[in-house]
């Protein structure tokens, strides 16, 4: 057990672990935003094709997802094209 904890005390190992945690947090954040957007669209009865759903689920850019969510909040929006263009 002591040998395993020693490996993670090395600065390089700590750096890798920190990078992995940051990547995991960012990935979780975008996955959550994509899931939220899909729920919003479903709640608004906006039809999605399989390609639209895949595009939303595969988006890893947080700013893009934020933009789509803001558009989905507009009550005048009635199609997926108006949300994700």
* pLDDT 10s digits, 1-28: 455 555 567 787 788 777 888 777 878 8
Question: SS3 for the chain, per residue?
Answer: CHHHHHHCCCHHHHHHHHHHHHHHHHHHHHHHHHHHHHHHHHHCCCCCCHHHHHHHHHCCCHHHHHHHHHHHCCCCCCCHHHHHC
Torsion of CA 17, 20, 24, 25, to 10 degrees: 60
Looking at per-residue pLDDT, the higher value among 4 and 73 belongs to: 73
Sorted by where each begins, the domain ranges of the chain are 2-84
pTM: 0.75
Are 29 and 62 a contacting pair, CB within 8 Å?
A: yes
Residue entry with tokens 């507009």 = 74
As a whole number, mean pLDDT of residues 59-69 equals 97
Report the mean per-residue pLDDT for the chain: 88
């Amino acid at each position: 057990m002591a040998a395993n904890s020693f490996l993670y005390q090395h600065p390089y190992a700590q750096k890798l672990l920190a990078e992995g945690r940051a990547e995991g947090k960012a990935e979780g954040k975008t996955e959550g935003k994509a899931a939220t957007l899909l729920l919003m669209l479903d709640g608004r009865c906006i039809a999605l094709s399989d390609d639209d759903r895949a595009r939303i689920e595969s988006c890893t850019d947080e700013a893009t997802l934020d933009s789509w969510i803001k558009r989905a909040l507009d009550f005048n929006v009635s199609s997926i094209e108006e949300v994700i263009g």
